[in-house]
Amino acid sequence: MTEPRGVLLMAYGTPASLDEVEAYYTHIRHGRPPTPELLADLKARYQAIGGVSPLNDITRRQAAALQARLDAIDGPGRWRVFLGMKHTRPFIQDIVREMAASGVKTAVTLVLAPHYSTMSVKSYQTAADQAAAEAGPRLWHVDSWHLQPQFLQALAERVTAALARLSAGAPSDGAVSDGRSAPSASDGTPGGTPATVIFSAHSLPERILEADDPYPRQLRETGEAVARLAGVTDYTFAWQSAGRTDDRWLGPDILDVIRQLAGQGRRRLVVCPAGFVADHLEVLYDVDIDCQRLAAELGVQLVRTASLNDDPLFIAGLADVVRARAARGDHDE
């Protein structure tokens, strides 16, 4: 029997309860506990979306769906999908050791973030490499998959559905388009009122630009490709969810972009958080609450595209990414 090949799926992680928020925040801050004010603010954000984020549950569903897809293609037993988190248990390093102990000799690593940056995807890979250096397995990294066809198609379908929701006069209440089986997209709405699509991703410290980090370029490439697929010509880009540090972060911030568009007379907006692949705090609070609050104040109708979560088309794309990386690794050896 062919030995199983591992897939190390890596994700950010989120606290499972409000009691875990302080330890989680401290881990993000490299062991420095947050101030009482920062901790209270983060807890309030979690409380605003129901007390906990659905991210851990969604990530587990994504891993299970990827396992099922790989099994369907190559047969059960060929692949073993493992899930490791950056900031919560099970930690990436522990899962790498678990893979090695289970007899996995080679594994493809895939971060659940489409765009590469030395400050994001690279940090996951480094954590995995450090653990693998002790006893294996041999790791083949996927750096980015921001132009993966099924990923782009899934986003385009959601943009189309969100534009259709605007055309139908959906209330600006934070409701999200269901993302599939919608009529063809257009970049306008009845009566000639234009609709603008904002493609967003998590901001990072601006210093990444000094090393020509590909992160901003890759977001733009994703947005441009999705816009072409959806037939959209009126779109722009924004950064969101910047950290509360002394660093300068990539901009423009999404709230400033909404203000600018409103000042130009734009009253119908679609936010497509193309840098995120699951519902979590940066989507459910930063877009569905913060952006919606501002849109209401400005008299702007705003609809967010549905998150990818464990959508079958998206998962099929991830499976293709994994299999292609393994094939390349086999060829190089």
Q: Is the pLDDT of residue 314 over 80?
A: yes
At residue 264, does pLDDT exceed 60?
A: yes
Instruction: Say if CB 305 and CB 271 are below 8 A apart.
Output: yes
The number of angstroms, rounded, from the C-alpha of 164 to the middle of its chain's C-alpha atoms is 23
Q: What is the pLDDT of residues 5-20, one digit of tens each?
A: 999 999 999 999 999 9
- pLDDT tens digits for range 21-54: 999 999 999 999 999 999 999 999 999 999 999 9
Is the predicted pLDDT of residue 275 greater than 50, yes or no?
yes
pTM: 0.93
Residues making up the binding site for Fe(2+):
202, 282
Task: Choose the weakest-confidence range: 16-20, 56-60, 175-179.
Answer: 175-179
Report the share of the chain in percent with pLDDT over 90.
88
Binding residues: 12, 29, 45-46, 53, 124, 202, 282
Give me the residue label for tokens 């983060």.
Answer: 42
Task: Identify which of 13, 18, 188, 192 has the alpha carbon closest to the alpha carbon of residue 111.
Answer: 13
- In the block, residue with structure tokens 């940056």: 117
Give the pLDDT of residue 193.
Answer: 65
Query: What is the CB neighbour count within 10 angstroms for residue 296?
Result: 14
**Binding residue numbers for Fe-coproporphyrin III:** 12, 29, 45-46, 53, 124
The least confident of 73-82, 166-175, 294-303 is 166-175
Mean pLDDT of 293-298: 98
Phi, psi of 62 (to 5 degrees): -65, -45
The per-residue pLDDT for 330 is: 78
Give the Cα separation of 200 and 172 in Å (integer). Answer: 19
How many residues in total does the chain contain? 333
**Which domains are assigned to the chain?**
5-145+311-332 (3.40.50.1400), 149-304 (3.40.50.1400)
- Which token pair is 108? 């493809």
Residue 172 C-beta-side C-alpha neighbours within 13 Å: 20
| 250, 216 contact by CB (below 8 A) | yes
In this prediction, residue 3 has a pLDDT band, given cuts at 50, 70 and 90, of confident
Q: For the segment 117-174, what is each residue's pLDDT rounded down to a tens digit?
A: 999 999 999 999 999 999 899 999 999 999 999 999 999 999 999 999 997 776 554 4
pLDDT at 168: 78
